[in-house]
Each structure stands twice: as C-alpha cells, then as structure tokens.
Structure 1
Amino acid sequence: MLTMDAKLQTLRDTLIKLQPGIIGASGGVDSSFLAWFAGYWGLDYLAVFLEGPHLSPDEARAARNLLPGLPLSSAVASFSPLDVLEVRENPRDRCYHCKTALLARLRTLGRTGRETVVDGSHLSDRTEYRPGRRALREQGAVSPLAEAGILKEEIRAYARDMGLEQAEQPSRPCLMTRFAYGQMVTNRMLAQVGRAEDALRAMGLSHFRIRIVDQGRCLLHIHSSQRDAAFFQPESIHTIMEQAGFSSFGLECVDTLSGYFDRTSPGVI
C-alpha cells in the first residue's frame, strides 16, 4: 500500500490541473511511473509511445508490451528523429532539436482536445546536461515529476512500493547518445548499435553502452559492477560484436556510464 506523502500529493494536484493531456511514454521507469499514477488516480491522460530507429528492437517491443498494462488509454505512433537534419548531424544540442520534433509529433496526436503534453523528466535530471529542457520550455510542455521535486531514486522507491516491474529497470537513453558529437548518424548505424546491445543484454549484461567514438572506432563500456559478468564471457562478447559489424572494438570497465560524450567532447557544438 502506498502512503501519499507531500511529493505524491503535489504530483497528483499538478496532473489534475493539467488534464486532459498526453504523456510521452518511452517505456522507461520514469514515464511509466508517471503514466501508471495518472491512471491509478483516474485522471484523463493518453500515454503515447513514439516508436522509431532511435530505439533498439527489444526496447521498442518492451515499450509496446508495457502499454496495455497501464491503467489508462494508450497509443503507439511512429517518429524518426533522423528526419530532422539538426539531429542527423549530431551537434552538442542534438537533444534540443530531437525533443522539439518529438513534442511537435505528440501535439499532432493530441489535437482532439488534449492540449497539454507532459513528460517523465524528474528533479535529478536538472543536475545533468539536458539540452532538451529548453525544448520543453519553448513548447510549453510540463514535467510534473520535476515540479513535484521527485528524484530518480524516489521514483524507483515509489515504484517498488506499488510492485511495478519497471522499478529496477536500468536507464537506457536513446541510441543517438552512443555517437560522438559531430558524427553524422544514419538508420543503418542506429540499427547496428541496437542489434548489438540487444544481444549483449540477452547474454546477461544490463549496465553497459556501446560508444562510436569516431568513424570506424568503437568502445564497449561495461559498468564496473558487472566486471565479472563481462570478463568471464569474452568470447561471447566478441562474437556478438563481430556479428553486429564491430570487428574491432575496445572493452573498458567504467564507474560512470551516463554523459560520456559530454565529458570527453565539451567543446563540440
């Protein structure tokens, strides 16, 4: 049984004021948590999953399968960030251009009386480099979790209390984040990375990222917490990477997975 603390009450009050609306549902724990509670409280929202090449096949399948289990109406629509030149060119503010296009796509789906678009950004996101926040402000979208002061770990704790299966789901930012800034990205490149990551996940890894550092040079970053899982299966990892088209790659254990290219390419625009 969930206890309604001050933050959840603020979240509920915010969602009540914003309804009817659309929730951008990515399949991750944050937006799933938001959509689940909107439905749990009986509010008027439509959860929309935008499927496209920026997600791996397994990730897209999991998000589609999640929607019917949410206690509110849902829909699936197509979206390709690569339709936007400023996204394909992969500048440092790529996420701003992608989020702008994504919000515009959601708005086209909400013209039947749903004016408000809300997303799953939370308060912890505000401590990291997130150019997409500017798009949220410009488009008039709202992040109710952040407005309620809810942190990432609190989302996981609430989700555990309610028995939501997404509670322990590792963060999986979109596949565009796997490429160094300034590198032109294609559908083929996204598919290649997505195929490899799905296979590595099926092998048992959960905390890792493939990095395309530059044309032809690839790194596989595995979180230090999974060092043993990785280094007891070197042949399987090499087979998966080679079958996906990465005949040569570097394997590194790291303590931090997120924000790699923000740290290594701070001056790229």
Structure 2
Amino acid sequence: MLLNEKYEKLKKYIEELGSAVIAFSGGVDSTFLLKICYDVLKDKAIAVTATSSTYPEREFREAIKLAKEIGIRHKIIRSEELEIEGFAKNHVNRCYYCKSELFSKLIKVAEEEGMKYVLDGTNADDTGDFRPGRRAAKELGVKSPLLECGFTKDDIRKMSKELGLPTWNKPAYACLSSRFPYGEEITSDKLSMVEKAEDYLLKLGFVGFRVRHHGDIARIELRQDQINMMMDENMRKDVIKKFKGVGFKYVSLDLEGYRTGSMNEAVAEMINNV
C-alpha cells in the first residue's frame, strides 16, 4: 500500500471512531497520531500526558509545547509507576504493570469526557520487539490506529515531515525505566541519575543515545557516527566529571553503540518464556 493510501485509510479509521483520548508523550509516533486526530475529530479529540519520575522533564515540556502548537485540548495526569506494585522490582513484565495503570487512567478520563476510545501510538515496527505493554493495551481495549493502518516508523517520519511536524526527525525515545537491567530495582534516585546524565549528553550535542544504569557503572550507548566525539580528551573528561557528579563511580562507552532493546539481549530466554 502506498503511503498516501495509508494516510487516507488512517484518516477514515479515525473519523469512524468518532471521538478519542490520545496517549501523548511528545514522541514521533504519538505526535503524528495526535495531529491526525485533531485534524479529523477537532474538539472530539483530547491529548492526555501522564507525568512520572520515569518521564524526563524535558520531554514533558516539549509535549506541552507540541500540543499547544497543534491546537488540541491537552490534559495532564499523574501516573507514578514506582507506586505500582511490582514495577520497581523491574521484572521483564515491568511495562505490563505500567501500561495497565496508564491505560486504566486514560479510560477513566475518556469516560469523564464522554470520549468513546483510548488510542496509543504503537506502529507496525513495534511488533518486532518485546513489548509486554501491548498485552495491557489489548486487555483494556486500547486501539492502535498506526498499527492497524500499517504505518511503519519510516512512514510516520515521512508523513510528519510533509505535515510540517517538528518531530519528524526526533530520535526514538523510551521511558527512563528502560535504562536498567531486568532485576535491578528502580528508584527515584537512580532515575534522576540517568536523567541528569542524559540531559548533559544532549547539552553536549549528542543525539540518539542511551545511558544504561548498571549499579555504580554508567554504560553509554552512542550512535556509531558520534562515538568519535567521545574520544576527544576534553569531552571525555567533562563527561566523566559530570557522570561521577550525579552519582556514578565508573563511566563506560559501549563499543557496539546505541541499539533499541539492548537490555533484552541478556535475558532473551526469560523473555521467550513470558
């Protein structure tokens, strides 16, 4: 199916829904979905962003800005994952607990606002990775229009660019809890360490990276084309100083570079049994 055909299919799909609450993080996928929902449904669409300690302040501020630019009504709710039983223990099903909590709150918003459906930004590429949050979406009846209409990440970026959305080339993002190996307890202090470390790398000009938290060790994953930036002596010393200042004792650079789902590599057998 051609991209324009997918686009028309998506608009028709959303039109037939009639009204919807959209889970909005400010990322590439949810921003694109939000734009189409607003264009098609107008005041029958509401963006909802959930704040928590796993959601960086910079992403929250950007989500507010994007929703305002699009013109859609935007509600802010609180969904603190660390208060969810089982989440902080960081089992491989961690995302299931998180999404169950989030989608339940979005369903409540939809009921209060008289909206028929809750939508998320899952796309066709997401089915190829381990995503226990998808099970929560299915159980609670959350719809994924981008997935249903066959939109890949590349499709979404291309259409976002055509629509003039500033997120068209935004690096992929995942919540801060994805920076921890399964089984390592997640705490607010540890999340703060990761957020401050990643904010500093952004300030230095790095894009599309992750800072993985391994106890006292920070494992930095950079894009292959930016690894050499870290080899500059002054840059390296600055990063080490900053990372130790936020609480890490050791700072390492992953020579494989950034890749999504790297924390799943060490527990592949466990994941296959979930």
**1:78 correspondence with 2:56:** no
User: CA contact under 8 A between 1:182 and 1:268: conserved in structure 2?
Assistant: no
In 2, the alpha carbon distance for the partners of 1:185 and 1:230 equals 28
In 2, the alpha carbon distance for the partners of 1:261 and 1:67 equals 32
Compute the displacement of 1:238 (Å).
1.2
In 1, the alpha carbon distance for the partners of 2:231 and 2:145 equals 41
Compute the displacement of 1:134 (Å).
0.6
Partner of 1:34: 33
Compute the displacement of 1:23 (Å).
0.2
Worse overlay, 223-232 or 20-29: 223-232
**1:246 correspondence with 2:248:** yes
In 1, the alpha carbon distance for the partners of 2:76 and 2:132 equals 25
**1:120 correspondence with 2:121:** yes
User: CA contact under 8 A between 2:217 and 2:249: conserved in structure 1?
Assistant: no
**1:265 correspondence with 2:267:** yes
In 1, the alpha carbon distance for the partners of 2:75 and 2:210 equals 29
User: CA contact under 8 A between 1:92 and 1:181: conserved in structure 2?
Assistant: yes
Partner of 1:223: 223
Read off the aligned partner of 2:73 and give its amino acid letter: S
Aligned structure 1 segments of 4 or more residues deviating by more than 3 angstroms: none
3-state secondary structure, aligned to 1:250: strand
3-state secondary structure, aligned to 2:255: strand
| Structure ranking higher in helix proportion | 2
Compute the displacement of 1:218 (Å).
2.7
Partner of 2:4: 5
Unaligned runs of 5+ residues in structure 1 are none
* TM-score of the pair, normalised by structure 1: 0.94
Identity across the alignment (%): 28
Compute the displacement of 1:4 (Å).
7.8
In 2, the alpha carbon distance for the partners of 1:211 and 1:4 equals 36
Cα separation, partners in 2 of 1:4 and 1:156, compared to 1, 3 Å: closer
Worse overlay, 33-42 or 18-27: 33-42
In 2, the alpha carbon distance for the partners of 1:218 and 1:238 equals 10
Compute the displacement of 1:254 (Å).
2.4
Cα separation, partners in 2 of 1:256 and 1:69, compared to 1, 3 Å: same
Compute the displacement of 1:229 (Å).
2.2
Partner of 2:236: 234
In 2, the alpha carbon distance for the partners of 1:61 and 1:246 equals 27
Partner of 1:181: 182
Unaligned runs of 5+ residues in structure 2 are none
In 1, the alpha carbon distance for the partners of 2:127 and 2:236 equals 37
In 1, the alpha carbon distance for the partners of 2:37 and 2:3 equals 14
